[in-house]
Amino acid sequence: MDVKSRTLRNTHQRQLVLDIVRSSFDHPTAGEVYERARLQDSTISKGTVYRNLKLLSELGEIRKLEMPFGSDHYDFNLEEHYHFLCRRCNKTVDLSIEYRKELNEVPPPAAGYSIEQHRLLLIGLCSDCNT
Give me the amino acid identity at 115. I
What average pLDDT is seen over the chain? 92
Higher-pLDDT residue of 78 and 114 is 78
Domains and CATH numbers, the chain: 3-74 (1.10.10.10), 79-131 (3.30.1490.190)
How far is residue 105 from each of residues 21, 79, 82, 116, measured CA to CA in Å? Answer: 31, 18, 17, 8
How many whole angstroms separate alpha carbon 40 and alpha carbon 88?
30
User: pLDDT digits over 75-113, tens only?
Assistant: 999 999 999 999 999 999 999 999 999 998 888 888 899
How far is residue 48 from each of residues 11, 28, 107, measured CA to CA in Å? Answer: 11, 16, 42
Query: β-strands 73-75, 63-65: how paired?
Result: antiparallel
Q: The pTM is what?
A: 0.85
How many whole angstroms separate alpha carbon 91 and alpha carbon 12?
29
Of 30, 32, 60, 59, give the one whose Cα is nearest residue 47: 30
